[in-house]
Amino acid sequence: MPLQPVAQPLLRINLRRLIVLVAFASAVISLANSFYATYQVQRQLLIDTTLEANYAYALKLASSTENFLLAARQQLAYSAGQLPRHYADPAALKMEAERLRGQTNTFNSVLIVDAQGKVLGVSPETLGLQNSQLASEGASLALRERRPLITRPYMSSVGNLVVFISHPVFDHGGRYLGYVGGSIYLKQKNILFTLLGQHYYRDASYLYVVDQSRRLLYHPDPLRVGEVAGKNAVIDAILRQESGSASIVNSRGTDMLAGYAVLPSTGWGIVAQRPTAATLAPLNQLMLNTLWYSLPIALLSLPFIWWLARLISRPLVQLAEGASRMDAPGMAERIGGIRAWYLEAAQIKRALLVGMSLLQKKIGKLKFDVQTDPLTGLSNRRGMAAALDAWQAQARPFSVIAIDIDHFKQVNDRWGHAVGDEVILHLAQLMRACSRDADVLCRNGGDEFIMLLPEADLDVALQVAERLRARVAAAEIPGAGPVTVSLGVVSSEQGAGKVLGADAVLLAADAALYVAKENGRNRVGLAEPA
């Protein structure tokens, strides 16, 4: 199966920077979320509080205005009760009109009118209405209804926009004599201006009064008094005789927080409203101040985050470097020395060490299998070559014993390959018995074997060879009969004072083996290296 290419990371960023980035992003997101949640909660609280305050304020002013109108009607009612006995006295009527107008400054003008609409008494005299016949909306309504009235705004006979409050006058016999009434000039300084205007705020908050015809009875802008208001949710609610609060957009497109209340006696609505922006301005400044004071702490926390990221990432970085260089010498010891102080790093460290151990065992086994003859367990040609290369690199002297089983083909032909394998295995066992731990025992192929003896001179090698030959000749191998071997012995130091190369020694050992065979087999042969 072909190897799959290793996927490259999407971002070329190390773990430490990643941890710092994640920690910083988490802190920023948490802070932003906290600020947003706090802002929204406080914003809604301010809006709700302002709406409730404006509603309560409108209720209070509606109550005060209602009490004012009640007091005005009571004044007129008292005067109406006193007037019957003076209706024939113009001077007394004039005096009563002056008294009513000046008593409380409730009315801008006062009229006393007979049953035919003729003015009998007036204050102030500058109006020029004495003895005149009134035909205004308020006068006509008072004569027709003959009951206490508060009119809607209308233009008076002298050109004033007024609200007219009147009370009928009856004699002791119940005969209708006329009425007494007071006018409030909406476009001039009046009691409503005194009552409401003193509560005007400098943050663009204001009050206004509207009647059931959408006409403005009071507004901080005098030019708007008498104006008919357009579509407005608050005014619509007032027309339904509802009181409450609402967030609206006024005629100038400004978001307002309005509280409104209705006067029971007239149906007028008093609206107290404040710009939403003015309400939220302190909150916006508070959030800016909070952010400003939070910045130093946030900046001071960055070195701590960097240090903590380094502390967390260091074991993982070291483990990653170790994992990328697992084949380097001593890497297992280096990984074992890494301080994995938290659980995940410790688990990765343990997994790496276990993996390296298993890998080394696997590599060792593969190396053993590659360099080992599967039948005998002796080294094969690769194992022999590896040993010789190492000794040559170290300039170590060594001797070679070449071994060949005599007439092995006849054993296979006569007894079969299974018996032949038993002979080979028996020879391998005897080679082990006659060798040292440092010796390298090899099966060169078929019935050919090699013994490599490090640090052994020719005499020692001859002794080993002769001992092996004798033990093979004396051995009893079931089913094979007597078996002998021929051996050739050469030392790497036979070359006139110089250490011979591996190839030369092996060739000389092979030549010595042929010498033994030519001399009758079952013996040890010698040969001089070429």
Q: Name, of 9-13, 280-284, 378-382, 474-478, the range with top average pLDDT.
A: 378-382
- pLDDT for 321: 81
129 and 47 inside one domain: yes
- pLDDT for 468: 93
In this prediction, residue 85 has a pLDDT band, given cuts at 50, 70 and 90, of: confident
Strands (E), 76-220: 109-114, 119-123, 149-150, 154-155, 161-170, 176-185, 206-210, 216-218
Q: Is residue 1 part of a domain?
A: no
386 and 364 inside one domain: no
90 and 222 inside one domain: yes
Residue that wins the pLDDT comparison between 268 and 501:
268
β-strand pairing of 269-275 with 440-445: unpaired
Q: Is residue 9 part of a domain?
A: no
User: Quick one: residue 244, left, alpha or beta (phi over 0 = left, psi -120 to 50 = alpha)?
Assistant: left
217 and 127 inside one domain: yes
| Section 334-351 average pLDDT | 82
Q: What is the 3-state secondary structure (H, E, C) of 212-235?
A: CCCEEEECCCHHHCCCECCCCHHH
pLDDT at 402 over 90: yes
pLDDT at 285 over 70: yes
**How far is residue 119's CA from residue 65's CA, in Å, rounded to a whole number?**
29
Share of the chain above pLDDT 90, in %: 25
CA dihedral 345, 350, 353, 354 (to 10 degrees): -140
50 and 145 inside one domain: yes
Q: Is residue 376 part of a domain?
A: no
- pLDDT for 55: 92
CATH number at residue 496: 3.30.70.270
Q: Is residue 454 part of a domain?
A: yes
**3-state DSSP assignment of residue 418:** helix
Q: What is the 3-state secondary structure (H, E, C) of 429-472?
A: HHHHHCCCCCCEEEEEECCEEEEEEECCCHHHHHHHHHHHHHHH
Residues 457-516: tens digit of each pLDDT? 989 999 999 999 999 998 888 777 788 999 999 998 875 556 678 888 899 999 999 999
> CA-CA distances (angstroms) from residue 435 to 128, 384, 401, 441, 530?
152, 15, 11, 8, 27
Contact in structure between 190 and 154 (CB atoms under 8 Å): no
- pLDDT for 481: 76
Residue that wins the pLDDT comparison between 342 and 4:
342
**How far is residue 404's CA from residue 521's CA, in Å, rounded to a whole number?**
9
β-strand pairing of 398-405 with 485-491: antiparallel
pLDDT at 202 over 70: no
Q: Count the neighbouring beta carbons within 10 Å of the beta carbon of residue 17.
A: 13
Residues 306-324: tens digit of each pLDDT? 888 778 878 878 888 877 7
47 and 176 inside one domain: yes
**How far is residue 198's CA from residue 249's CA, in Å, rounded to a whole number?**
24
166 and 60 inside one domain: yes
- pLDDT for 13: 65
Q: Is residue 5 part of a domain?
A: no
What total number of domains does the chain contain? 3
Of 321, 343, 370, the position where a domain reaches its end is 370
Residue that wins the pLDDT comparison between 231 and 453:
453
| Section 233-258 average pLDDT | 89
82 and 213 inside one domain: yes
pLDDT at 1 over 50: no
**How far is residue 236's CA from residue 252's CA, in Å, rounded to a whole number?**
18
**How far is residue 88's CA from residue 82's CA, in Å, rounded to a whole number?**
13
What percent helix, strand, coil does the chain show, rounded to 5? 50, 20, 30
Q: Is residue 241 part of a domain?
A: yes
Residue that wins the pLDDT comparison between 386 and 304:
386
β-strand pairing of 524-526 with 485-491: parallel
220 and 260 inside one domain: yes
Q: Which of these ranges, 236-245, 421-430, 478-487, has the smallest mean pLDDT?
A: 478-487
In this prediction, residue 199 has a pLDDT band, given cuts at 50, 70 and 90, of: low
**3-state DSSP assignment of residue 30:** helix
| Section 62-90 average pLDDT | 88
- pLDDT for 495: 57
In this prediction, residue 330 has a pLDDT band, given cuts at 50, 70 and 90, of: confident
Q: Is residue 10 part of a domain?
A: no
197 and 155 inside one domain: yes
Instruction: Report the mean per-residue pLDDT for the chain.
Output: 84
CATH number at residue 50: 3.30.450.20
| Section 226-231 average pLDDT | 85
β-strand pairing of 398-405 with 216-218: unpaired
Range of the domain at 398: 381-526
Q: Is residue 312 part of a domain?
A: no
Contact in structure between 476 and 505 (CB atoms under 8 Å): no
In this prediction, residue 245 has a pLDDT band, given cuts at 50, 70 and 90, of: very high
Contact in structure between 191 and 108 (CB atoms under 8 Å): no
Residues 123-133: tens digit of each pLDDT? 998 888 888 98
pLDDT at 190 over 80: no
Residues 93-126: tens digit of each pLDDT? 999 999 998 887 788 889 999 999 899 999 998 8
What are the structure tokens assigned to 14, written together? 């190390």
229 and 209 inside one domain: yes
pLDDT at 30 over 70: yes
Contacts of 94 (CB under 8 A, 6+ apart): 121, 122, 123
pLDDT at 393 over 80: yes
Of 317, 345, 370, the position where a domain reaches its end is 370
In this prediction, residue 524 has a pLDDT band, given cuts at 50, 70 and 90, of: very high
354 and 387 inside one domain: no
